[in-house]
Structure 1
Amino acid sequence: MRGRAPSGPETGDNRPRPGLRSTVLVACLAFFVITLDTTVVNVALPSIGQQWGGQVSALQWVVTAYTLLFAALLLSAGAISDRVGASRAFTIGLSVFTLMSALCGLAPNLTVLIAARAVQGAGAAVMMPASLALVRQAYDSPAQRARGIALWTAGGGAAVAAGPVVGGALTTGLGWRWIFFVNLPVGLFALVGMLRAPRSPRGHSSMDPVGQVTAVLALAALVFAVITGGSGGWTSPTTICGFLVAVLAGSAFLLVESRQSDPAVPLTLFRIPSVAVCTSAGLALNFGYYGLVFVFTIFFQEHRGASALTAGLMFIPMTAFTTLVNLLAGKLTNRYGPRLPLILGQVIQTVGILGLLLVRRDTPTALLLTLLVPLGIGGGLAIPPLTSAMLESVPHERAGLASGVLSAARQFGGAIGVALLGALIADSAHFMTGMRISLVVGAAVLVATTLGVALFLPGSPKPAAPSTPVPGTEEPATVSLRPDGLESR
């Protein structure tokens, strides 16, 4: 289902009216903040753990509770934006996100912090597609709309790069609670800005509540089982029960989706080999990226004695190269199609992960930072062609759906990466052994998806990709095909 924003939102020079300009600014700023919150927390985790004596398994939930709900609710977020209108959905999501940021900062214990992070992720999921809808509604001109979307995606890319540094600086200078309090003025500014935003039209998109609930339950049970396995043993009754619930809920999800006339995730989509391998590759890239950022954050602070600020600064070379290579990836995709740069990016990231096996507690800092760079280069090179390949694999009218599925898969890849790789380092007495196993696992997953791409993704001389930012940010045509302005390109 496709549609256009109401006519006449622009001035004669193709710029949005003042009210819409502020709406675009607010939407881009909000996307920056919700993306920032996927990375800003990592460097604060040791400080959070020291305050409450939290083990690695508890700290994992501070990260995964956010990304898990973010990923799962993306499946329905576009439909919510359609039914209530993008401006209303954005305001609701932003209000929830801001309130939960305050609760995170005021949390009296880890349980409250984790619960608030989960609800914060739900608010972010509602906000994200609505924010893109607002950007698209502000322009009728395709060229100006493309520039607005480029600004929106640039905000996400900047957030991924800034997250570790911002988190480290705030944790060292003001305390870990300020990584959440910093969202409050931004949220309030955005809410005031939305007072000038025109109301978005409502649509009639159908919802799939049973499919959404079973998806959340399956993903949450799987993450729970993996984290519990690392701390309590893989054969413990709690771990086994978690895996059993994940299997049952996952089976229920597949059954529901196969019988729905308008499912959240049409299973027929995965009968297209290139869709299946692109979804798997997106999951694998974020699995390694976010999982290893979590592992090395713990390594820098607890095993090398770095401060939170120093730990954040140590990720700068990696994230800087990610951003730079991201620009090159778009040119390579335009020239050679998505297959070659996607394979090359995964190979570079795999080689980089294996190179990190050389790291020891006393490895010189310069060498350590150099070894981290290929992890960022590989991700920056692979993500834009991945998006392009996904969109090329489906008919035009399903491009928004495919992009939404890819976004959800990438977010879940980050959640399960933190869960599994974090579980492998849960025993602090054998941290280095666990870290090396986590590196091998991350590399093995990427090898599998690289082979899948090589075997099942055809070459394409005519890529049709929007340039996409670094791992963790979302694609320009995210959960789209909505009458409120989220039509796919």
Structure 2
Amino acid sequence: MRGRTISNVGVSLGYLLVLVDSTVLNVALPDIARSLGGSVAGQQWVVSAYLVTFGALLLSSGAIADRYGALRTYRVGVFLFVLTSVLCALAPTLLILIVLRAFQGAAAALIPGTTLALIGRMNPEPADRHRAIGLYALVTGCGFAAGPTVGGILIAAGGWRWIFLINVPVGVLALAWSRYFPADPKARDRGARLDVRGQVLAVVFFALVVVVIIETGERSPIAAWALIPTVCAAGLLYWSDRRSAAPAIPVRLLRIPPILRGTLYGFTIQVVMASTLFVASLYLINARGLSPLGAGLVLIAYTFGPCVLGPVVGRVVAARGPQLPALLGQSAAVVGSVAIAAVMFVGGPLWALIATMLIAGAALPLVIVPITGLVVAGAPAGSAGTAGGLFSASRQLGGAFGVAALGAVLASVGGADGAAWAMMAAAVVAAIALLGMVVRPHRVR
């Protein structure tokens, strides 16, 4: 039992690497803009270039894990993530940084689906699996929580480039720990060939959608012109997937109700969480005048819930099922987002903002832990990696669209009011997901 716990902690370390990088970056955006130039749109692209390739390539990363082995894919992903992190730290211009962030997202895509597949392999019993997912949420949540503060410290000590270099020791530790994970089966069903054409089209389509959203916020004519290639890319992706034995978007899995609900709710909660971190970071530094370290300390309130609630939620789901925690979490997302917006509108004190962020931050583990269990349990035999990749893709693409859409609201309105209206938009997204959970409750344990 102790050895299994150690392995569960270790397998979470790779995804922790990915999460630390995403939350560290938010407080560094103003420093990057001062160093390399760029508007709010440029800062959005530093985040979204990563999330688009990350999310789109996650659609096939699970299939790669099923085909070539989860452990082997995990190790390759961690190694490439460390390599691209070093290159990002050396980027001389904003454009090169954005391009390198896209490659970093591609490397990161190999990690989340494989971690879920390895957790499923190590914990075949449902109760053990829920507890393992709770532990997984604790480890990754601690990285999520520590990110803003670590980012502020690194920027104060040496500048934004250090936020990428911090990935090197964590990645080396993750690779060393992987020696203790269960080996890949010698005999695997390699299935159909991977659809490279469809995967490229998926990246292009999602990237163009983000272009339209971001440029709309900037009130640029590029948004209108980009609609034409966006529609063309959507049509080509549909055509490619209809003719592929291994489509980029595995529609067959989306016909399974638990997986469909998991991907939809994973998408919506990440729209709220990722965009809130983006908007709140810029609000605290630009509107409130805090330093990156000061903003990181305030954002601990938002990331505190994911750090401490994961194991507790895992035990509750194991005992009571997924519906109650998911409803509580989605309700926290709605109430917390509205409360954050209210504080921003009136320019309330920081302690009030911290209190509202504590409420909103509790949403992530309360929603993610039960719906992750739904996806893992609902995956057909031999498709655990593909289902995990689809679920993780929905979350990352939700983050990309959230940063683009709510960042567009922020850029369009401007100032503290722009941040407040962006948070109201996040509340609307969370409310729609809450309504869906009430109308179609979770029934799989």
Which of 249, 274, 278 in structure 1 is aligned with 2:233? Answer: 249
Q: Could you tell me whether the CA contact under 8 Å between 1:15 and 1:139 is conserved in 2? A: no
The residue type equivalent to 1:402 in the other structure is A
1:209 aligns with 2:172: no
More helix by share: 2
Q: Secondary structure at the match of 2:290?
A: coil
Q: Give distance in 2, aligned partners of 1:449 and 1:197.
A: 36
1:423 aligns with 2:408: yes
Residue matched to 1:30: 14
Residue matched to 1:469: none
Residue matched to 1:474: none
1:80 aligns with 2:80: no
Q: Could you tell me whether the CA contact under 8 Å between 1:226 and 1:423 is conserved in 2? A: yes
Which of 245, 253, 259 in structure 1 is aligned with 2:243? Answer: 259
Q: Could you tell me whether the CA contact under 8 Å between 1:86 and 1:133 is conserved in 2? A: yes
Q: Could you tell me whether the CA contact under 8 Å between 1:170 and 1:179 is conserved in 2? A: yes
Residue matched to 1:477: none
Q: Give distance in 1, aligned partners of 2:242 and 2:68.
A: 27
Give CA deviations for 1:214-265 in whole Å, capped at 9, x if unaligned: 21111111111111221243xx1x2123233233222332333233334343
Give CA deviations for 1:39-86 in whole Å, capped at 9, x if unaligned: 110001111111123211001111111121111111111232344444
TM-score normalised per structure 1: 0.80
> Residue 376 of structure 1: CA displacement?
0.9
> Residue 433 of structure 1: CA displacement?
2.8
Which of 173, 176, 183 in structure 1 is aligned with 2:167? Answer: 183
| Cα separation, partners in 2 of 1:232 and 1:103, compared to 1, 3 Å | farther
> Residue 438 of structure 1: CA displacement?
1.2
Q: Give distance in 2, aligned partners of 1:455 and 1:144.
A: 29
Deviates more, 1:246-255 or 1:174-183: 246-255
Q: Could you tell me whether the CA contact under 8 Å between 2:202 and 2:237 is conserved in 1? A: yes
| Cα separation, partners in 2 of 1:106 and 1:132, compared to 1, 3 Å | same
Q: Could you tell me whether the CA contact under 8 Å between 2:213 and 2:223 is conserved in 1? A: yes
> Residue 146 of structure 1: CA displacement?
8.3
Q: Could you tell me whether the CA contact under 8 Å between 1:328 and 1:381 is conserved in 2? A: no
Q: Could you tell me whether the CA contact under 8 Å between 1:329 and 1:382 is conserved in 2? A: no
Which of 360, 363, 366 in structure 2 is aligned with 1:381? Answer: 366
Q: Give distance in 2, aligned partners of 1:349 and 1:193.
A: 35
Bigger radius of gyration among the two:
1
The residue type equivalent to 1:205 in the other structure is G
Residue matched to 1:402: 387
> Residue 133 of structure 1: CA displacement?
5.5
| Cα separation, partners in 2 of 1:327 and 1:138, compared to 1, 3 Å | closer
Counterparts of residues 213-232 of structure 1 (less than 5 Å):
213-232=200-219
> Residue 27 of structure 1: CA displacement?
4.5
The residue type equivalent to 1:220 in the other structure is A
Q: Give distance in 1, aligned partners of 2:199 and 2:366.
A: 32
Q: RMSD of the TM alignment (CA)?
A: 3.2
Aligned positions, number: 441
| Cα separation, partners in 2 of 1:272 and 1:251, compared to 1, 3 Å | farther
Deviates more, 1:33-42 or 1:145-154: 145-154
Residue matched to 2:350: 365
Q: Secondary structure at the match of 2:218?
A: helix
> Residue 369 of structure 1: CA displacement?
0.5
Q: Give distance in 1, aligned partners of 2:82 and 2:243.
A: 37
Give CA deviations for 1:369-398 in whole Å, capped at 9, x if unaligned: 011122112222222222234456665665
Q: Give distance in 2, aligned partners of 1:347 and 1:136.
A: 29
> Residue 275 of structure 1: CA displacement?
4.3
| Cα separation, partners in 2 of 1:186 and 1:447, compared to 1, 3 Å | closer
Counterparts of residues 68-467 of structure 1 (less than 5 Å):
68-131=52-115, 152-190=136-174, 200=184, 201=186, 203=188, 204-206=190-192, 207-233=194-220, 236=221, 238-272=222-256, 275-360=259-344, 362-391=347-376, 400-427=385-412, 430-457=414-441, 459-460=442-443, 463-464=444-445
> Residue 134 of structure 1: CA displacement?
6.0
Q: Give distance in 2, aligned partners of 1:248 and 1:386.
A: 33
Q: Could you tell me whether the CA contact under 8 Å between 1:82 and 1:202 is conserved in 2? A: no
Q: Could you tell me whether the CA contact under 8 Å between 1:60 and 1:419 is conserved in 2? A: yes
Q: Could you tell me whether the CA contact under 8 Å between 2:62 and 2:388 is conserved in 1? A: no
Q: Could you tell me whether the CA contact under 8 Å between 1:352 and 1:375 is conserved in 2? A: yes
| Cα separation, partners in 2 of 1:311 and 1:403, compared to 1, 3 Å | same
Q: Could you tell me whether the CA contact under 8 Å between 2:135 and 2:311 is conserved in 1? A: no
Q: Could you tell me whether the CA contact under 8 Å between 2:305 and 2:364 is conserved in 1? A: no
Residue matched to 1:50: 34
Deviates more, 1:341-350 or 1:398-407: 398-407
Q: Could you tell me whether the CA contact under 8 Å between 1:258 and 1:266 is conserved in 2? A: no
Counterparts of residues 13-24 of structure 1 (less than 5 Å):
15=3
Unaligned runs of 5+ in 1: 1-12, 465-489
TM-score normalised per structure 2: 0.87
> Residue 266 of structure 1: CA displacement?
3.0
Q: Give distance in 1, aligned partners of 2:207 and 2:216.
A: 14
